[in-house]
Structure 1
Amino acid sequence: MPAAQLEVILSSLYRASNMKNICSARPGFWLQVANMLMLLCMGRSHSSLAIKCDIIKSSTVAQPAARISNMSTATDLGCYWSSENVIRAKLPVEVNVFDSVTLEVTLNVSGIVSCVWLLPDNITPCRMSQNWNSSFVISLDLVRMSEKHAGEYKLLINNDNVSFSVHIELKVKGKPRKPFFTETNNIVSCISEGYPEPTIYWLLCSSPHGRCINKTGTHLFSGTDIYGRRRVMNALDSRFLQDEYILCCVANTFGTECTQLYTIDLNSEGLLPKIFVKVGEPFIIRCRAMNETYKFRVEWSYNSTDQLHAFEENAYVNIQSVSHMVRVSFATSLQMNRSNSGIYTCSSTYLPSKSVHVILSDKGFIHLNTSKEEYIIDQSKEFCFHVTFEAYPAARCTWLYQSNHFPCENATVGTSVAKFCDHKYMTGEYTFYIENEDVQLHKTFILNLLKKPEIFATSLQDYLSCTASANPLAVWSWKRSREDLSNCTDDIIDGFSFGLAERISDAWMSRSTLYIGNITGTFWICCCANNSVGVTCEKTPLINMKPIVEQNSYFIPVISCLCALSIFFLTVLIYNKSQKKNLYQSQLQMIQYIGPSDNEYIYIDFSVLEYDLKWEFPRENLEFGKVLGSGAFGRVVTATAYGIAKPGVSLQVAVKMLKENADGSEKDALMSELKMMTQIGHHQNIVNMMGACTTAGPIYLIFEYCLHGDLLNYLRSERETFHKTWTDVVKDHNFSFYHNFTQHQKTSVRRESLLDNGFYMAENRTLVSGDSQQIGSFSLNSEQNDNQEQQIKYENTRCYDEEDLHVLTFEDLLCFSYQVAKGMEFLESKLCIHRDLAARNILITNGKVAKICDFGLARDIENDSNYVVKGNARLPVKWMAPESIFEGIYTIKSDVWSYGILLWEIFSLGINPYPGIQVNAHFYKLLQSGFKMEQPFYATDEIYFLMQSCWAFDSRKRLSFPQLVSFLGYQISNMEALVYQNMDQPNRRDSSCLKQSFKEMNSPSLLAQEPLI
């Protein structure tokens, strides 16, 4: 083997061995590489070996006129023997940026073949298969190509008879890199790279959208970088760069990229954006000023320790026949370092100064919310995917659909918005992919279309079956016409059944079957499918004239006996039913359809939906603890879950389960609750589901564990520690805020650890100042990021550890109220109603965070005096709205009534509602007469007004949960003002709900609302 060739292979191997993903390779893999290199050095003859090299392009840029195509095209690269042990491809592989390709090498050898790929940036084992004529096919998949993938690819092959290498050159084509500037001896150079080779030019503009002068500077350098890109450089003397807007542009056949020279113009208005620069990069910034007199100066000042090189250019210009002096001061650096970060201020004699913030970072960044988003849209309305992100350096992006990608505008430095509208309403998964030199990210979108039900009817003997394709899932009903054969108007209330719903492609398939064997006469039978898009009915004629039974001497006695037996069995059935307990049903319900009266709710039947196995958690990784609650149908116990948040980390959770004697209907109900919780999603103010165990044993639902139990008992246990204001807390506990804040400033930042309850809390429970630490709960998201931590969105650490003080303040009561309203606002957005909203169903965890839960499975309603027998059920009557008690109607507005009762519980510190009043006929009369409880002792007039607004007898006049959130946000902000009156601004306490309420109040939607009082 030639020494030069061996040196190339070994240098490639050495460079690849320094990659992080190779350092951990198996020893056997490295031994295989070494063996192949030794065999190559032996130089065996192989002139008779036939070999073929192909490039298969499986992904290309999709054009709007020619829509998606999954066709793959193969190109023969013309491999030939260039020397004894080396095969080279005649043609280089040229692919567009973001394309996906496959390299294939086919050879007719016998025996066991071993091989390995030496890539420009790593080493990877090869994938082998055999084709129809028993030749070996060695392939390599390259996904979403970028310029860094360019270079020479080497395939090392050996078996008993042959040892050789295959060399293939790969080039990546795309838009040029965004230009950057350098300065030497008052000469400013603009530099960029690209393949194919780009051209470079300058634009000198007097206004952003005005006429520009195209100027070509001096071409100084041309070469090729390590990725095969052609480098171009163009230089201009700084005396030509005195216009207000200076741009350098670079272009090739794939597009144009322009960069504007950073400029502070003291004569123009407008805010200056932050400037991001990477450590080690060159930097140029200009300060420009213009005046009618030449007697003025332009100067730089900045707070960085390292001074930049500064120089000035000036010239006279005529504006409306008046001569003006223009002065431009340049500040440049060939290599920026961290000490250059800071505020750069430009000032002049007669003009106000301006400043810009220059931020130095070790590497680039892309800020993008990568959570998955799903849309169900109306095809008749325009729709675009939108992505907002911030990137530095400038990033490349693309939209991916199936095996094709669609271009998007390259990101400018700073905040950018990318949108994609050319989806042609094709359903499925779309991916937004973005990368720069340091970061690669992607975001997934799911697109579904609203679809009115389409019905297909079939009849078979005594059955009529209808199948519907719809999105969302359709609800079935059956009707029949009258004897005059008019339209179907009479409802059929029995005799039909439903099949399991199934998701197929972009729609839900469901089926309903009607038994028609006992229907006589001539009718129209209509099966109707209804969803939020509309109603579709399929009409089928029924001609079924059955003969009348011939009367004889046995007819009447037989009929009499049958009637007697029927009455007997019916009596037994009614008795057994009265003795049987009510079936378990979750308190939470998700609405599928709302009727015309806004009170006619049809709930989603989750029993017909599929369970997503991504939520499944190994039951052997659960170690059970004590029982938290037990009821007629099941119980909730604590458990330690190993690896539910991240591998190797244990977490304390709460597990919901049925009792051992549960029947099939109760298991179905628990499975329905599981499916519903996966649909609801994650929120900081509900008890979130983290996983489930459904296979090979009893059903377990795994939820977050809330350390402090329910809100009702929490209020009662802390009643003695209540203080109206924090001034009272300071007096009673003999300390000052200033002392604690000063002491903390001398301490180090406290350590954070993941406790069993799933929250970040301090190991050393000390007071903290400044920005509060972010903490959040872990949950498995039903749509994305399987087995990963949720993004931390909710800050709930106090500036001091209130739980160590064991104090309860009026602000805490406001915070609990605000957080429950936020949780209910979220449930309302998911079309959920709770039906048992009360302090006993609110859990409190670390940081005094309130979370709404559903205790229906594990509450002992038989012995709980809050649940009163009404009809054949036990109901929490004191918390129920009048329409729920008297009409059996549960709506979002009935939850608002219950929330008003919950407020009364909170601001009475856990007293039972309607104290001293028994639930009897007198209570129901009081409720119907408009009776309302008096103002609780700890409530302000504003809070009592809020309660009364929740208790409007007409449900339409009650507040909505978004209005409640807004109202409480204003109350919390007022409370914050009182807390800060006796405190210095730097030492303000950052309560979790204060910060959350400020964020909500500053949102455009809440700013548009007027205060409720």
Structure 2
Amino acid sequence: MTEHECAMANYDSELNEAFLSDLNQGSSEQEAAVVNLIAGETLLLRCRHNSISPLRWLKDSRSPEGKQIRDEIYHVSHCYLLIDMVMMEHNGTYSCLSSVDNRTKSIHVQVLEHGFVNVQLKEMNQVSALARESLCLQAEVNAYPEPRCHWVTPRGRVACSAPSRYRASRIFRHCKPDPGEYQLTVENNEMSITRNMTVCVVDTPAVAIALTKDNIQCSANGTSLNVTWRYCQMSTKCHEDALWHGMMPQTMQKSKLEDFCQQSHFTSVSLSELEDNIIVKCCANSTFSSPQCSATITLKKHPSVITQMIVILFILLLLIFLIVLNIMIKNKKPRYESQIQVLQIVGPLDNDYIYINFKEFSYNLELEFPRENLKLGKELGSGAFGKVVKATAYGLSQPGVSMQVAVKMLKDKHHPVEREALMSELKMLVHIGRHVNIVNLLGACTESGPIYLIFQYCCNGDLLNYLKNHREQFQKSLSDMFDLKRFRYLFQTELTFREREGSFNSTYIPMSPMLFRDTQEPSRASIHGGINEELDSLEELHILTYHDLLSFAFQVAKGMEFLSSQNCIHRDLAARNVLVTQEKFVKIGDFGLARDIENDDNYVVRGNARLPVKWMAPESLLQGVYTKQSDTWSYGILLWEIFSLGVTPYPGMKVDQKFYMLIEGGFQMEQPYYASDSMYAIMRLCWALTPQDRPHFSKLVAVLETQLEDSENQLYINTGEKALSQSIYQNADVLPAHRRPNREDEKVAENVSRETEVPPGPASIPTELTPLNEG
């Protein structure tokens, strides 16, 4: 290699590109006709000729500034022009000239003060269904410095593939696009440009015409349609296009269909404005297909028997079509929506409301969690639309620490509307905030892949199965299980838990990125380290007491009080939708996405939906009205589940027309086996037929808090010396045959009755309950 060749090779490695002109070839698409540089950069031009010929570079017929280096290798001549730092005065046309055969080739050098990006594309792309597979979205980009780009498609973000070059431009393509809206973002170190594109797949228009008593109606579906009416006298045979005459329609309506770019056109003409014995046709013209027409014959004054038969046959076919369409609509899978909804009151009554649509709400990207720090595990639940899986999150609470979480997601094959609904649910959860008795949102993954909602993981499952699995371990009190020394430790623990429950009064915790990382619940053992052994032994024994049932009821009421304060309604409050964590904390969840209601006997087909009938208030069941008071009714059913240790409500009763009549008539279940009289009085208040007569959750929290305090005071009494001679902890009367009202029951019933009168209980239909019998 010669000295000049080595020098040029060094420049090539530093500049990455030498702009080449080959005198032996014509202009090609790969050769740049214009060279763009920013002031201060280095320009290197190279000229080549396949002969021994002196070459030189000229600018405007004069020798340009810079260093020209010539060499000859294997009968090929080269000439380099090097300018270390280009300035504005170096703008111009540079030509390479051969002294032997006078061949020349020119290239224009443009020195810029800063970089630029220019994008040329076709914004509206319409293609027929047959040509869809061969369609490629194309953008011509002229930019300096080197541009980067990506597409945003209906399926997500996609990086641009390697471009092809055309002169000084780059051609970026995205082939086989789905119908919908697209964005192309092109950027370099200087600027960024985003352009929008749409893809519409059009097909042959579908046209249908119908004859009614007063008019002729025409409906057409398609893209970019022009619907027209024409008529012809029957006596002319109508074989020539000139015999058809246009007419103006009486009505013209347009509406969008679910398919992108598709529209539905509806138009009609009045029979009173038409002549006798004519043929009428409705035509739809589209850019990508031939005109499609549908015709009918009208004989206004003297209709023939054949015409009458045709009309009757058409009506029968239309009825069959409507019946089939109605069946298809009923069998169509409903769209996914979150079970929890936020209300906006729009009238003077509580049932004058609308659901808030969170589609247009903004999403705080600070809540985003790195997808690579999430390791998905086994599936916890699956439904028609999605599933919930157990996962391990690394660095969610604090750097370097992993924790167990539950991840909510859509199934692989889902509709874009369902993805939009899950995104709206994420925004709604951010809007609602956090509470200790709600399954709280910890973070989300929304970018570069499927949407993941990250929730707290509740290790003990749902409350319904927890109650069923611990029936054999139920004790009236813990005094039957421990001696006096252990009972004193337990009393200290209960007082600590009572202090912690007092802190629940401040329930609303605003959403913030830092709070998303704080997922630890208060721990009894962390407050009183000296009782760790006692708590561990209790957890191993899985002891369940009446005080625990009271605590479950109180915690659910606190969670619902918080949701009510945020104008939220749950619409499916039941023990199966309440989760249990360590140390008997309970949290209200939303299983609208991952519960298999198709195979769940608790969800009964009613109309075109599956509903939890036995948990629904009369106004929700019969009128479709959901309010905070309807959640109060469901809470009363949940109390019945808790104090029967998981027995299905209305045991032995089928959900049929007779059941609906009983509920509408004021029928109420009998007192559950493990409930006190005062607790049953609370249930009956929740089941008041008039929604306004049901207590608010704030009132229920106050009453249950009183019962918890009385339960703890009784626990303290039983730890005294008199407890040594007693064998039963008198927390509550739990046997139905021996229920006797005590002072605390009378006090609670009196407090609740001040606000609402207890509705009379059922007398006509007894419901016998036996322990652990689910009917």
Conservation of the 8 A alpha-carbon contact between 1:646 and 1:788: no
- Residue 635 (structure 1) aligns with: 387
C-alpha separation between the residues in 1 aligned to 2:704 and 2:494? Answer: 25
2:567 pairs with 1:815? no
- Residue 150 (structure 2) aligns with: none
2:415 pairs with 1:663? yes
Aligned with 1:907 (options 643, 662, 672)? 643
C-alpha separation between the residues in 2 aligned to 1:816 and 1:518? Answer: 67
Conservation of the 8 A alpha-carbon contact between 2:407 and 2:454: yes
- Residue 582 (structure 2) aligns with: 846
After TM superposition, give the deviation of residue 792 of structure 1 in Å: 7.7
Q: 1:967 to 1:519 in 2, by over 3 A?
A: farther
Aligned with 1:609 (options 341, 353, 361)? 361
Conservation of the 8 A alpha-carbon contact between 1:689 and 1:701: yes
- Residue 727 (structure 1) aligns with: 479
Conservation of the 8 A alpha-carbon contact between 2:397 and 2:518: no
C-alpha separation between the residues in 2 aligned to 1:956 and 1:659? Answer: 41
Q: How does 1:885-924 map to 2 (within 5 A)?
A: 885-924=621-660
- Residue 784 (structure 1) aligns with: 512
Residues 172-203 of structure 1: per-residue CA shift (max 9 Å, x gap): xxxxxxxxxxxxxxxxxxxxxxxxxxxxxxxx
Aligned with 1:951 (options 670, 687, 694)? 687
C-alpha separation between the residues in 2 aligned to 1:892 and 1:770? Answer: 32
- Residue 462 (structure 1) aligns with: none
Report the AA paired with residue 512 of structure 2.
Answer: Q
Conservation of the 8 A alpha-carbon contact between 1:635 and 1:656: yes
How many pairs does the alignment contain? Answer: 425
2:440 pairs with 1:688? yes
Conservation of the 8 A alpha-carbon contact between 1:685 and 1:822: yes
2:602 pairs with 1:881? no
2:380 counterpart SS class: strand
- Residue 651 (structure 1) aligns with: 403
Q: TM-score, normalised by structure 2?
A: 0.50
After TM superposition, give the deviation of residue 728 of structure 1 in Å: 2.2
Report the AA paired with residue 886 of structure 1.
Answer: L
C-alpha separation between the residues in 2 aligned to 1:556 and 1:932? Answer: 64
1:641 counterpart SS class: strand
Q: How does 1:273-422 map to 2 (within 5 A)?
A: none
Aligned with 1:803 (options 539, 545, 556)? 539
2:337 pairs with 1:585? yes
2:430 counterpart SS class: helix
Aligned with 1:679 (options 418, 424, 431)? 431
Aligned with 1:970 (options 706, 718, 729)? 706
Report the AA paired with residue 645 of structure 1.
Answer: S
2:719 pairs with 1:983? yes
1:827 counterpart SS class: helix
Residues 918-945 of structure 1: per-residue CA shift (max 9 Å, x gap): 0001111111221100000100000000
1:981 counterpart SS class: helix
C-alpha separation between the residues in 2 aligned to 1:908 and 1:726? Answer: 19
After TM superposition, give the deviation of residue 672 of structure 1 in Å: 1.3
After TM superposition, give the deviation of residue 573 of structure 1 in Å: 4.0
- Residue 868 (structure 1) aligns with: 604
Aligned with 1:709 (options 461, 469, 483)? 461
After TM superposition, give the deviation of residue 592 of structure 1 in Å: 2.1
- Residue 833 (structure 1) aligns with: 569
After TM superposition, give the deviation of residue 560 of structure 1 in Å: 6.8
After TM superposition, give the deviation of residue 838 of structure 1 in Å: 0.3
Aligned with 2:664 (options 923, 928, 931)? 928
After TM superposition, give the deviation of residue 659 of structure 1 in Å: 1.0
C-alpha separation between the residues in 1 aligned to 2:516 and 2:416? Answer: 34
Q: What RMSD over aligned residues (CA atoms) do the two structures have, in Å?
A: 3.8
Q: 1:914 to 1:774 in 2, by over 3 A?
A: closer
After TM superposition, give the deviation of residue 739 of structure 1 in Å: 4.7
C-alpha separation between the residues in 2 aligned to 1:875 and 1:557? Answer: 47
Conservation of the 8 A alpha-carbon contact between 1:654 and 1:703: yes
C-alpha separation between the residues in 1 aligned to 2:474 and 2:249? Answer: 70
Report the AA paired with residue 840 of structure 1.
Answer: R
Q: 1:569 to 1:968 in 2, by over 3 A?
A: same
Q: How does 1:170-181 map to 2 (within 5 A)?
A: none
Q: 1:971 to 1:768 in 2, by over 3 A?
A: closer
Report the AA paired with residue 430 of structure 2.
Answer: T
2:598 counterpart SS class: coil
- Residue 456 (structure 1) aligns with: none
Report the AA paired with residue 583 of structure 1.
Answer: R
Conservation of the 8 A alpha-carbon contact between 2:463 and 2:579: yes
Conservation of the 8 A alpha-carbon contact between 2:557 and 2:700: yes
Instruction: Name the structure where strand makes up a greater proportion of residues.
Output: 1
C-alpha separation between the residues in 2 aligned to 1:659 and 1:976? Answer: 47
2:334 pairs with 1:595? no
C-alpha separation between the residues in 1 aligned to 2:641 and 2:648? Answer: 7
Q: 1:560 to 1:891 in 2, by over 3 A?
A: farther
After TM superposition, give the deviation of residue 596 of structure 1 in Å: 2.8
Q: 1:964 to 1:696 in 2, by over 3 A?
A: same
C-alpha separation between the residues in 2 aligned to 1:849 and 1:519? Answer: 67
- Residue 485 (structure 2) aligns with: 738
Conservation of the 8 A alpha-carbon contact between 2:433 and 2:508: no
After TM superposition, give the deviation of residue 625 of structure 1 in Å: 1.1
Conservation of the 8 A alpha-carbon contact between 1:615 and 1:782: no
Q: How does 1:492-641 map to 2 (within 5 A)?
A: 551=274, 554=278, 556=280, 558=282, 561=296, 573-641=325-393
2:648 counterpart SS class: coil
After TM superposition, give the deviation of residue 606 of structure 1 in Å: 0.9
C-alpha separation between the residues in 2 aligned to 1:863 and 1:698? Answer: 27
After TM superposition, give the deviation of residue 975 of structure 1 in Å: 0.5
Q: How does 1:465-480 map to 2 (within 5 A)?
A: none
2:345 counterpart SS class: strand
Report the AA paired with residue 669 of structure 1.
Answer: A
- Provide the identity percentage: 50
C-alpha separation between the residues in 1 aligned to 2:409 and 2:508? Answer: 19
C-alpha separation between the residues in 2 aligned to 1:856 and 1:816? Answer: 22
Which structure 1 residue ranges, 5 or more long, are not aligned? Answer: 1-516, 522-545, 731-735, 746-766, 988-993, 995-1006
Residues 753-795 of structure 1: per-residue CA shift (max 9 Å, x gap): xxxxxxxxxxxxxx97995798999x99864353665498856
C-alpha separation between the residues in 2 aligned to 1:808 and 1:825? Answer: 25
Q: 1:793 to 1:814 in 2, by over 3 A?
A: same
Conservation of the 8 A alpha-carbon contact between 2:496 and 2:524: no
1:577 counterpart SS class: helix
Report the AA paired with residue 551 of structure 1.
Answer: L
Conservation of the 8 A alpha-carbon contact between 1:907 and 1:937: yes
C-alpha separation between the residues in 1 aligned to 2:649 and 2:454? Answer: 32
C-alpha separation between the residues in 2 aligned to 1:957 and 1:676? Answer: 30
Which structure 2 residue ranges, 5 or more long, are not aligned? Answer: 1-247, 253-268, 283-293, 298-313, 724-730, 732-747, 755-775
C-alpha separation between the residues in 1 aligned to 2:324 and 2:376? Answer: 42
Q: 1:847 to 1:623 in 2, by over 3 A?
A: same
Higher RCO (CA < 8 A, seq sep 6+): 2
Conservation of the 8 A alpha-carbon contact between 1:843 and 1:850: yes
C-alpha separation between the residues in 2 aligned to 1:971 and 1:774? Answer: 16
Conservation of the 8 A alpha-carbon contact between 1:646 and 1:787: no
After TM superposition, give the deviation of residue 519 of structure 1 in Å: 9.9
Residues 572-599 of structure 1: per-residue CA shift (max 9 Å, x gap): 5434323321111111000123423321
C-alpha separation between the residues in 2 aligned to 1:518 and 1:784? Answer: 58
